[in-house]
Amino acid sequence: MDKVQDNRAWFLIIPVFLIVAFSAVIPLMTVVNYSVQEIFGPGQTFFVGTEWFEVVLADERLHDALIRQIIYSLAVLAIEIPLGILIALGMPGGRSAKTSLTLVLLALPLLIPFNVVGTIWQIFGRGDIGLLGATFRAIGIDYNYTNNSLDAWLTVLVMDVWHWTSLVALLCYAGLQSIPPAFYQAAKIDGASKWAVFRYIQLPKMRGVLIIAVLLRFMDSFMIYTEPFVLTGGGPGNSTTFLSQYLTQMAVGQFDIGKAAAFSIVYFLIVLLFSFIFYTIITRTGEGEKK
Amino acid sequence: MDMEWMAWTTPTAIFFVCIALMLAGMTVWEVMSPTVEAKGFLPMRTTRGDRLFIGLLSSAFIHLGWLAATDVSLWGAFAVSLAWIALVIRFG
């Protein structure tokens, strides 16, 4: 039978195209326009060429924030992805009250607004009234996230793990549930070890959801703003000032719109590059599996 | 419609027109001769659109690197980028 050529489906993507244009493409174009100008106010703009980019690229504070951001995002991935997989593997399967309870408990941290998470951990870590801070103090550990950089870093990291590992676990769980029982039966007949079942059945079947989990967690952690802002305010010193917080200081605090726009473009390109690299590595690993 | 809020400048307008023309050109090229995934010097199989994306993204970093490292005119980075995009699309 001849294939029917019907291009009407293209009309169905018009709403999405319009929404993306209004919410992403046009604002991004505006940012590009701002990045080459000195902005004093509406209608008061002066073309400065690539000057803002030169300023931003030579900015030591931005270099420091970028290094901190990369270390932070890699640490988040290194902890949350294996931990999420482990939790998913340990979760009860099938339809039971235990499964429902586990799913609800895991979903709880995801339902809490970002600034509330920051506030919870701000109180939780305080030595005078917080459970965590007071416990550390009682057992003689000198823990203070407001004036010790390492403590601040660990608190921000653990807070992110607490908030987002559930997402990875739920995604992996969905991937595990889609594996037909026949795979496990075949593995049992072959006398496969638990590790072999994980390596050759579960992990390949979770590949699709893991791609999404890694990309989501990477992009989210690379753009993190609210939680560290509420918890540490970027301190002590600048030790937990990540890229987006530095950008906000520039754009809103100093009202340096042109410089902030140039910074945003560099930031956007870095996120795009890292996401592309991650995506390529993960999809290539999959191609290797198929061969 | 008043577009003053977007703070357009001639160079950025030319930049976006070039991007739009590039996308339109790629669409026409795709309709005339659909792309086939191929393996060149890049470490993975790519379509024509993948190679354009890689070329454009790396060109952005070539420009940023040029700005950060030298005081030589940015047209140099532009020339290097054009050569690089052509190379990636043809042999990538």
Looking at residues A243-271, what average pLDDT do you find? 89
pLDDT for res A278: 81
User: Is B9 within 8 Å of A42 when comparing Cβ atoms?
Assistant: no
CB nearest A276 (choices: B11, B43, B57): B57
pLDDT digits (tens, 9 = 90+) for A18-67: 999 889 999 999 999 999 999 887 778 889 989 999 999 999 988 999 99
Residue with more model confidence, A108 or A288: A108
The candidate with the shortest Cα–Cα distance to B49, out of B15, B92, B79, is B92
Inter-chain CB proximity B67 and A50 less than 8 Å: yes
pLDDT of res. A30: 92
Minimal CA separation from A268 to chain B, in Å: 11
For the segment A72-100, the average pLDDT, to the nearest whole number, is: 91
User: Which two three-digit tokens encode residue A181?
Assistant: 């029982």
Residue with tokens 């294996």: A82
> Which residues are A47's β-sheet partners?
A37
- Residue A3's pLDDT is 66
Structure tokens at A186: 């075949």
- Inter-axis angle of helices A149-177 and A60-90, to 10 degrees? 40
Closest chain B residue by Cα to residue A282: B44
Q: What is the 3-state secondary structure (H, E, C) of chain A?
A: CCCCCCCCHHHHCHHHHHHHHHHHHHHHHHHHHHHCEEEEECCEEEECCCHHHHHHHCCHHHHHHHHHHHHHHHHHHHHHHHHHHHHHHHCCCCCCHHHHHHHHHHHHHHHCCHHHHHHHHHHHCCCCCCHHHHHHHHCCCCCCCCCCHHHHHHHHHHHHHHHHHHHHHHHHHHHHHCCCHHHHHHHHHCCCCHHHHHHHHHHHHCHHHHHHHHHHHHHHHHCCCHHHHHHCCCCCCCCCCCHHHHHHHHHHHCCCHHHHHHHHHHHHHHHHHHHHHHHHHHHHHHHHHHC
Residues of A in contact with B8 (CB under 8 A): 33
- Cβ(A258)–Cβ(A48) below 8 Å: yes
Contact A269 B6 (CB under 8 A): no
A268 — pLDDT class (breaks 50, 70, 90): very high
Asked if pLDDT for residue A77 goes beyond 60, the answer is yes
Q: Which CATH number fits domain A60-290: 2.30.33.40, 3.30.1360.170, 1.10.10.60, 1.10.3720.10?
A: 1.10.3720.10
Is residue A270 less than 8 Å (CB to CB) from chain B? no
**Matching residue, tokens 């291009």:** A7
Residues of B in contact with A276 (CB under 8 A): 53-54, 57
Determine, for residues B7 and A26 on separate chains, whether the beta-carbon distance falls below 8 Å: no
pLDDT value of position A287: 62
* Amino acid at residue number A29: M
Task: Name the residue with higher pLDDT: B5 or A247.
Answer: A247
The share of chain A scoring above pLDDT 70, in percent, equals 96
CA A13 to each of CA A4, A7, A22, A164: distance values in angstroms, whole numbers, following the listed order: 20, 11, 14, 32
pLDDT at A170: 94
Residue A165 has pLDDT above 50, yes or no: yes
Cβ separation B7–A272 shorter than 8 A:
no
Q: What angle do CA A279, A248, B70 make, to 5 degrees?
A: 70
| ipTM for the whole complex | 0.91
How many Å apart are CA A275 and CA A238, to the nearest integer? 26
Confirm if B73 and B43 have CB atoms less than 8 A apart. no
Q: What is the pLDDT of residues A173-226, one digit of tens each?
A: 999 998 999 999 999 999 989 999 999 999 998 888 898 899 899 989 998 998
Exposed (0-12), middle (13-18) or buried (19+): which is B75, by Cβ within 10 Å? Answer: exposed
Taking CB atoms and an 8 Å limit, are A269 and B7 in contact across chains? no
- Closest-CA distance, B12 to chain A, in angstroms, reads 6
Of the residues B5, B9, B88, the best mutation for testing chain A's interface (the one with the most A CB atoms within 10 Å of its CB) is B9
What's the gap between Cα B70 and its chain centre?
22
Cα–Cα nearest to B67, from A257, A61, A51: A51
Question: In the beta sheet, which residues pair with residue A45?
Answer: A39
Q: Which of B12, B43, B57 sits opposite A33 (nearest CB)?
A: B12
Q: What is the mean pLDDT of residues A3-25?
A: 85
Burial of B25 (0-12, 13-18, 19+ CB in 10 A): exposed
Smallest CA–CA distance from A52 into chain B, residue: B67
CB A76 within 8 A of CB A221: yes
The residues, ordered by sequence, that sit 6+ positions from B62 with a Cβ below 8 Å of its Cβ are B77, B80, B81, B84
Between chains, do B6 and A33 touch, taking CB under 8 Å as contact?
Answer: yes
Classify the C-alpha dihedral A226-A231-A237-A238 as positive or negative: negative
Residue A291 reports pLDDT greater than 50: no
Q: Which residue has the tokens 């809490």?
A: A112
**Is A269 within 8 Å of B43 when comparing Cβ atoms?**
no
Inter-chain touch B6–A30, beta carbons under 8 Å: yes
Per the CB < 8 A criterion, the answer to whether B12 and A32 are in contact is: yes
Q: Which residues of chain B have pLDDT under 50?
A: none
pLDDT tens per residue across span A136-146: 999 988 888 88
Give residue A145's pLDDT: 87
In this predicted structure, what is the pLDDT of residue A197?
A: 92
Nearest to B7 among A33, A283, A284 (CB): A33
> What residue ranges do the domains of chain A occupy?
60-290
pLDDT of residue A117: 92
State the DSSP code for B2.
Answer: -
